[in-house]
Amino acid sequence: MHFAGRERLLWLAAPWLAATAVLASMVLALLVAPHGPIVPDPESAARAQLRAMIGQMLVIGFPGTSVQEEWPARIAKMIGQGEIGGVLLLGDNIESPEQLRELTAALRGAGGMFPPLIAVDQEGGAVQRLSPYKGFLGLPAAKTVAGTDVETAYALYAEQARQLVAEGITVNFGPVADLDLNPDNPIIGRLARSYGERPEVVASFGRAFVAAHREAGVLTAAKHFPGHGSGDSDPHDRAVNPATRWQKQELAPFRSLMEEEPRVPMVMVGHLIIEGFSDGDAPTSLSRRAVTDVLREELAFNGLIITDDLDMAAVRERYGREEAFVRAAAAGNDLLLSANRAAPDQDLVEKVTRALVGAVEDGRINREQIEASYRRIAAAKRSLSPRSGLQ
């Protein structure tokens, strides 16, 4: 989609508008203060601007299926106030096409300067939130699709992408770019989520996935960088350490999807511990070496970088939620994802926002890095189809 000059300026000026709102409230306080004038604090405006930018980095899940319920209503309010930039919908958020359309319409209509990213995992096979038994088209698993040809795959994914747009979905977390190197891998191999063990095959079917979604105006995210297929454990339970198995060829599909048209607009970083990518024994999702040094600089990826779910035990139980978000942002991720399901916390957004603001103010995170992430997020939202409601 294309924005006229005025709308583009509004998008880029959003953090400053938030800061201006803070100053306006201070001026009002000057007029009504019973004990003399209150001196406005210029630092408060800078902090409001910072919070507005951080808000766009947060992609948060929630229980519930309708904004008539407490949790979804709270999420809609946070969207309207600019406290979060997107949501993750899981299977328990989705009951039927009609219900999903109503939910996404309510979230898009919540107000605020920025419409939200509305994301799902719709890979096909074992991982699809819009499943056939709920009345949706559904998709075969990647391994099954790879048994056809690229043209057939594109047609399947194009039909799926059109349905996502019709249901108000703007981000699909796929394609899976992991190589099928360990058939006993509980999260990739056993679930048939990979297109195969050959990098060129995985890349070709991955490009069909990306191209079909791009044509429909839906963002995609290649996952799970730098390669999950050789692992032997599930990050939902603990950090994956495939150090003795990981192979350099696992980078090839990601490199291809980032360099060859159609380029993937987003990459998701997994919770993997791999020498050369991890900072010490930190998972790659929280590693500046993996996210900034390798993905952003060495591989020259200019799109959005998103963490895998920070609510997984691999991260949450080791670092705690606030620290995990701080480490993820410090590593250079643009979008910080949490399903918020293991122990749903209604105050999660405020807690992690406060922690992130504090980390910027004490120097753990560079403010210019937050500003760069904000610019990339705004550009990605501008690229979405008008049919998605982001207009």
Task: Tell whether omega for the bond before 344 is within 30 degrees of 0, i.e. cis.
Answer: no
The catalytic residue among 234, 236, 293, 345 is 236
Active site residue 213: no
Q: Residue 374 class from Cβ within 10 Å (0-12 exposed, 13-18 middle, 19+ buried)?
A: buried
First-to-final CA distance of the chain: 8
* Spatial contact of 324 and 310, defined as CB atoms under 8 Å apart: yes
- Asked whether 226 and 174 are in contact (CB, 8 A), the reply is no
Token look-up 């499943």 returns 131
Catalytic residue among 121, 178, 308, 309: 308
Distance CA 130, CA 121 (A): 9
Judge whether 174 and 209 are in contact, CB under 8 Å.
yes
Q: Is 236 a catalytic residue?
A: yes
Catalytic residues, by residue number, are: 236, 308
